[in-house]
Amino acid sequence: MSNPPVWHGTTILSVRKDGKVVVAGDGQVSMGDTVIKNSARKVRQLAGGTVIGGFAGATADAFTLFERLEAKLEQYPNQLLRACVELAKDWRTDRYLRKLEAMMIVADKETTLVLTGTGDVLEPEHGVTGIGSGGNYALSAARALVDMDMNAEDIARKAMGIAADICVYTNTSLTVETLDADG
* Contact predicate 14/128, CB 8 Å: yes
Among candidate residues 10, 11, 112, 116, the one labeled active-site is 10
Residue of 68, 109, 106 whose CA lies nearest to 86: 68
Q: Is the Cα torsion angle 149, 138, 107, 63 positive or negative in sign?
A: positive
Give the SS3 label for residue 120.
coil
The verdict on whether 10 is a catalytic residue reads yes
Cα separation, 128 vs 13, in Å, equals: 7
d(CA 137, CA 150): 19
3-state DSSP assignment of residue 67: helix
Kind of pairing between the strands at 175-180 and 128-132: unpaired
Contact 56, 131 (CB under 8 A): yes
Active site residues: 10
